[in-house]
Structure 1
Amino acid sequence: MTSMLLLDLSLPLKNPVIIFSLVLFIILFAPILFNRIKVPHIIGLIISGMIVGPYGLNLLSRDSSIVLFGTVGLLYIMFLAGLEIDLAEFRKNRNKIIVFGLLTFLLPLISGTLASYYILGYGFLSSLLLASMFSTHTLVSYPIASKYGVTRNRAINMTVGGTMITDILALLILAGVAGMSKGDVSPAFWFRLGFSFIVFVAVVLFVFPVICRWFFKRFDDSISQYIFVLAMVFLASFLAELAGVEAIIGAFFSGLVLNRFVPHSSPLNNRIDFVGNALFIPFFLISVGMLVDISVLVKGWGALRVAGVILVIALASKYVAAWITQKVFRLTSDEGLMIFGLSSSHAAATLAIILVGYNIIVGETALGEPIRLLDEDVLNGTIVLILVSCGVSSFVVERASKKLALLQEEQAPEDSDALTDEKILVSLSYPDMVADMVDFGIMLKAKRRSIPLYGLHIVTDEDQKHDSASHGKKILNKAVDHASSSENILVPLTRYDTNISNGITYSIKEQNITDVIIGLHQETDHKTFLGPKVENIVKRIFETIYIYKPAQPFNTLTRIVVAVPPAASNEPGFLHWLGKLVSLAKSNTMPIHFYAPAQIIKEIKSIVTRKAGSVEAHFTAFAEWDDFLIFSRELRIDDLFVIVCARKGSASYLPQLERLPYYLSNYFQEQSLILIYPKQLESGINMSDIEQADSTLIETLSEKLGSLSTAAKYLRRMLGDK
């Protein structure tokens, strides 16, 4: 009873337990309630912040804790925007991004300056600063586009890139106006600002990747990796502030750098999305709602007049910029709508500019009251703009995302029907390779959740004698847990058989597997490179086989190098393995370099150009497989070396392939490798080749037949005696 009396329940609430509980319940129930009335959940969280904030029921004050979590949420949004952007598409559309960025900055700036100067009657510096606020936008509705899976659309890439341009230019204007109002602007001021910004960009783009690659190569603990990612995001944000620009610029650049190190289908990416969307981003939206004071609309015509001009200029100028961009670059109407929706919301940079202008004192009245660069009417009008623009943005992006998602499904690859028949099996034998093998299997799925993924462990007669079945169960449990951490389902299979190759072979046939992943342990030499078990599987199975040797984590690799033999396009599985490699390169934002004969390059180039689009592909003529060791000079330690092999008797088989174990075990020991055996039709290999390739099997059959023949002679002799 005493403890109940000691609780302080006065408003606003001060008990941290009650505060955090209230915020969590808002995050939980607000989206559910507002989705039922067809209102985007983002608006629900903002309105909830209005209700519980200091201008509503006053349940919560916008204290340092709310500001802290809100700032983290804003930086998280900008980080996710950089993390999810398609870098190849970004580079491909960089000219369009620059044009859109300048359009969506200059149109609001010019129209806003004129309206503020001539309609609202503010001075030139005040009008310029107010107009720069119109030019910026915050990607408040980006999580909606992410939810619908359309974040790699060109319109979204253009808008995200344009956001950086507008925010940088607007913040430069803010720095200039603030300096001019204080008389601090000089050539030295601009030189310091420009130099510090260039140093910041150089450090983030060139030093951060070295640190990230070093860390991910040495630490595979999931918690450590997530903490490291967050630390890099906030370090980049801090460096941006040191350089004289906003922290959101640093968060975005950190996302661009980490884009390569966080595969989109990885458990790490799933954790980043989960924590951000479950906690930090909702906190930011609630904190934005707590800023909104609806009562300003009834405090006089001044606030209403300013709010009306701000709303009309901000929304109209952004719409015109999006419409011009759509027409100039021949985008669809839905893409134009998406650009307007994402670029119309104002929150973070807008509020930062207005608060700085509000706090700048340029003089005093006759009564001694301060004259501010931007007055209270502008501050109140900006709060209204934040609420209305976030609402408009959410509804527009929701509508555009639905249409783009439907269009994306309709424009799926032509062979998508065949993909539904795909089944991927991962053979799990080595505990230290489970995570790498499962991750590779998930990447082969290419985000198609309908493709089943199986994990297989074989228990032989010898294993049963040593009670190794429990060891296999631990391996499968580890694989299932790892797959589930990235929201993928792995079906565990345990098979008891006389030997491993038989177990894998019959499991593949029983489950109708189309793609088989087998691990190549790093302690092999040229005599036992594949081993008799794997060689037996390659000879007996005609589906696509990937033999994988992960020398380092996949997310630390920088390039895919593919060696393709002559006549590879004559194989039945040519299009299948090519599509998988292109998808692998695209999902991991890696360039892919093909070494192949000129005719094969021509065919590969036409397919890659038609189906991949934004994948960065390079081609080098290579046909002399006797000179295979040239790859030891071409390859870097962070390259993934893919060799397209062939079974004996197949269309693309080369005698030089017999030397691969020697080359790979002696000259490429530290290289990450994938050996691909393309799908083969069983009738595509003649019987004489099979007999020559599988002499062990023929000898075994001969021995059995010889034994039967001896038994038959013995029986005939006994019957003859009778």
Structure 2
Amino acid sequence: MLLLTAGLFQEPIVAFVILLAVILVVPLIFERLRLPGLVGLLAAGVALGPNGLNIFQTESETMNLLSDIGLIYLMFVAGLEIDIDQFTRTRNRSIGFGTFTFLVPLIVGTIVGRLFGFDWNPAILIGSLFASHTLLAYPIVSRLGIVNNEAVTVTIGATIFTDIGALLVLAICIGIHAGDFTVFKLFTLLGSLGIYTIVILVGFDKAGREFFKRSGDEEGNQFLFVLLAVFLASVGAQLIGVEKIVGAFLSGLAVNRVVGDSPVKEKVVFVGSVLFIPIFFVDMGLLIRVPVFIQSLSDPKLLGLTIAIVVGLIFSKMAAAVLAKLAYRYSWTEMMVMGSLSLPQVAATLAATLVGYRAGLLTEGVLNSVIVLMLVTSTLGPILTARFATELQAETVEDLPPTLADPVWISQMTVLVPVYNPNTEANLLELAALIARSHSGRLIPFAVAFSQSHLNSSQMQERLDRSELLLERATQFAQSFDVEVSPILRIDDRIAQGITRASREHHANLIIMGWGRQSRFGERLFRTIVSDVLYAAPCPVAVARLLKSPSQFQKILIPIENLTLRSISALQFALNIATATNGQMTLMHVCGRTTSASKIAWIRSQLDLLVEKLAPQVEQIATEIVIIPEDDIGRAIVAASKSFDLLILRSSQTPNTAGGLILGNLVSQISVQIQCSMILFDEPEVVDRPLLLPNA
């Protein structure tokens, strides 16, 4: 029996099933324990590897293949998520800061390597590990609305320079380590790499644009084209004698503008984020030998190497930020944001470390030290970014444009409501009717009949009959609220696409759709129609979970973190509901327990100014401002919502990945705990410049 079980674990399909279970469950457990999901994947690799249950082997062809795909995907996503337009806007300064944050860490890392007895080649490679960085804290600066601050934009743009530079150094060091490496071969390699880079960046870009133009809406073929580009570029890199991750990163840059923010990009990133990249981190865990790792933290020399690498990285990144401050006259706060943004070492650093370790250029002690470096910097970087990003200079409420003082929808408002579930659509239609009626607008009940290849089939007719019945009932119900109703039936092969296209065709100002209770576990399992609509909608979207009639919404809670154009639109949406139901609004801001009394007073004054800006509309309803000192924002919102009829949260459709791994967010954390009605409000991507920073 034991032999049978042991043989079963050697089957590739069984190993793959175990990997899928680990990727699905372990990160969720660690996030619930308030630990990064990456740590859970590394720990799972250790537990399932040769030093644990011995289910996976580092020599396994299956693991090596999947890990290599994850490694390539990791670097591809790193290139794909770089904002080329932001780099173009501040090209010169991005190159300047990129030079600082590349050369200073490279020199410091090389010195660290030499001090601990490494030869020049591995020492320089260690320095190159310092040179790159991962924009782990990008969601923080995006949420705070300071992405367009020049210091932030320059840091984001510098990522291109640092990652390409680090990968170039890696390619040279690996080539030298291979032996028989002359100056002539060096120049040959550099020349080949230069030609290869031009072919990838220019050729793939043009080919991609032409293919996407000819393929139209065939997202499947476009997805396959992107994958082909990734792995073709990786094979090409190996043919000229450099590491495949160089080609993967360049291919990400090449197709960057081609895919833009299209659904194809989201699907490409999604596949890597939930499958291949996590497998790469599990494989990294297989390489960790627990006794050696413990020894690296107890042996004076190895512990010294780890401390030197961590301290040297932090020092060098901050020193580069100081040089940028002096060169470009940035403020001290901007300098700290630049330093903390460039601090985390995840994607390129781990990829290059693994390549160097497999090539025999880096020791196991360096590998373990880099893992510690990743854990420290991926924790410290976002903490520092969150601390100093809120202090960046922002416009005050007095500078708000006059139009923002008016309701976000003035007149002739068109509200589209997809109808599907008869048990929940009544409250959705009532909410839409109340808003549309208050703006002399119209309500569009909308149904999608999912199409088949044969439109005259009996199944197709049944779907059409059901959709027509839903629309008839919805129309009768909505007309009772004395509002213009225009029902629409559409045949489409994708429900989310049908909703977003109809909203565009009929000039909808708002989409209101239902949202059931779903755990974070469920959100990870299933790709929902709601998330697709939120991503592609051309107008604001209100995703509602309504537990009672909207006419009974007398107490409305709106948590406000930092006021930007997006968050003000969410506030104006709440104002629309409060006006229609004659309810009262409570603006809630959550600050840390250590926030001083003077800062709390300043926050309140800023929110008071905002309320004045929204007058005279706010004067018609009762408005209250509440400031709660609590370190856990989610817990504060859940506790406060218990005494309210409706909670309105602002969604964020900004990039939410770190090295390709999906991160949790506040909405998914608290949605299953909220007991009152709840609306998630989102609107299309806009320039989200800061208008007010209450916790500055």
- The TM-score bracket by the shorter chain reads 0.5 to 0.7
- Measured in 2, the distance between the counterparts of 1:280 and 1:315 equals 30
> Partner residue of 2:103?
106
| Structure 1 pair 38–421 and aligned structure 2 pair: CA distance change class (3 A) | farther
- The one of 222, 235, 241 equivalent to 2:238 is 241
- The one of 268, 272, 275 equivalent to 1:276 is 272
| Structure 1 pair 510–38 and aligned structure 2 pair: CA distance change class (3 A) | closer
- Is it true that 1:49 corresponds to 2:49 in the alignment? no
Answer yes or no: is the 8 Å Cα contact 1:480–1:490 preserved in 2. Answer: no
> Partner residue of 1:483?
496
> Partner residue of 1:338?
341
- Measured in 1, the distance between the counterparts of 2:195 and 2:277 equals 30
> Partner residue of 2:355?
352
- Measured in 1, the distance between the counterparts of 2:256 and 2:489 equals 30
- The one of 23, 27, 34 equivalent to 1:27 is 23
- Measured in 2, the distance between the counterparts of 1:309 and 1:325 equals 24
Measured on the aligned residues, the alpha-carbon RMSD in Å equals 4.9
| Structure 1 pair 132–253 and aligned structure 2 pair: CA distance change class (3 A) | closer
- Measured in 1, the distance between the counterparts of 2:300 and 2:307 equals 10
| Structure 1 pair 288–509 and aligned structure 2 pair: CA distance change class (3 A) | closer
- Measured in 1, the distance between the counterparts of 2:381 and 2:4 equals 44
Alignment of 1:74-93 (within 5 A): 74-93=71-90
- The one of 393, 399, 410 equivalent to 2:377 is 393
Compute the displacement of 1:145 (Å).
6.7
Cα deviation, 1:523-575, whole Å, max 9, x if unaligned, reads xxxxxxxxxxxxxxxxxxxxxxxxxxxxxxxxxxxxxxxxxxxxxxxxxxxxx
Please, which runs of 5 or more residues in structure 1 have no aligned partner? 359-377, 429-451, 459-466, 494-500, 517-585, 588-609, 614-722
> Partner residue of 1:421?
409
Residue type of the partner of 2:342?
I
Answer yes or no: is the 8 Å Cα contact 1:144–1:397 preserved in 2. Answer: no
- Measured in 1, the distance between the counterparts of 2:34 and 2:6 equals 35
> Partner residue of 1:258?
255
> Partner residue of 1:59?
55
| Structure 1 pair 32–146 and aligned structure 2 pair: CA distance change class (3 A) | farther
- Measured in 2, the distance between the counterparts of 1:159 and 1:146 equals 16
Compute the displacement of 1:349 (Å).
0.8
Residue type of the partner of 1:15?
E
| Structure 1 pair 245–194 and aligned structure 2 pair: CA distance change class (3 A) | same
Q: TM-score, normalised on structure 2?
A: 0.54
| Structure 1 pair 457–33 and aligned structure 2 pair: CA distance change class (3 A) | closer
Residue type of the partner of 1:421?
W
- Is it true that 1:384 corresponds to 2:368 in the alignment? yes
Residue type of the partner of 1:231?
L
| Structure 1 pair 127–253 and aligned structure 2 pair: CA distance change class (3 A) | closer
- Measured in 1, the distance between the counterparts of 2:346 and 2:94 equals 13
The alignment-based identity, stated in percent, is 29
- Measured in 1, the distance between the counterparts of 2:350 and 2:509 equals 55
Please, which runs of 5 or more residues in structure 2 have no aligned partner? 419-441, 449-460, 469-487, 513-537, 540-653, 656-685, 690-696
- The one of 200, 204, 212 equivalent to 2:200 is 204
Answer yes or no: is the 8 Å Cα contact 1:346–1:385 preserved in 2. Answer: no
Compute the displacement of 1:46 (Å).
1.9
| Structure 1 pair 405–51 and aligned structure 2 pair: CA distance change class (3 A) | farther
| Structure 1 pair 398–301 and aligned structure 2 pair: CA distance change class (3 A) | closer
Residue type of the partner of 1:239?
G
Cα deviation, 1:496-546, whole Å, max 9, x if unaligned, reads xxxxx9xx79x99999xxx99xxxxxxxxxxxxxxxxxxxxxxxxxxxxxx
Cα deviation, 1:380-412, whole Å, max 9, x if unaligned, reads 211212321221232134435656997899879
| Structure 1 pair 174–196 and aligned structure 2 pair: CA distance change class (3 A) | same
SS in 1 for 2:349: coil
Alignment of 1:484-523 (within 5 A): 490=500
**Larger radius of gyration between Structure 1 and Structure 2:** 1
| Structure 1 pair 421–42 and aligned structure 2 pair: CA distance change class (3 A) | farther
Residue type of the partner of 2:32?
R
Cα deviation, 1:270-306, whole Å, max 9, x if unaligned, reads 3123212211221122122222223114385554444
SS in 2 for 1:59: coil
Q: RCO (CA 8 Å, sep 6+): is it higher in 1 or 2?
A: 2
| Structure 1 pair 173–320 and aligned structure 2 pair: CA distance change class (3 A) | farther
> Partner residue of 1:224?
221
SS in 2 for 1:261: helix
| Structure 1 pair 611–5 and aligned structure 2 pair: CA distance change class (3 A) | closer
Answer yes or no: is the 8 Å Cα contact 1:144–1:398 preserved in 2. Answer: no
- Measured in 2, the distance between the counterparts of 1:165 and 1:93 equals 18
| Structure 1 pair 86–309 and aligned structure 2 pair: CA distance change class (3 A) | closer
Cα deviation, 1:75-104, whole Å, max 9, x if unaligned, reads 223322332322221112222333333333
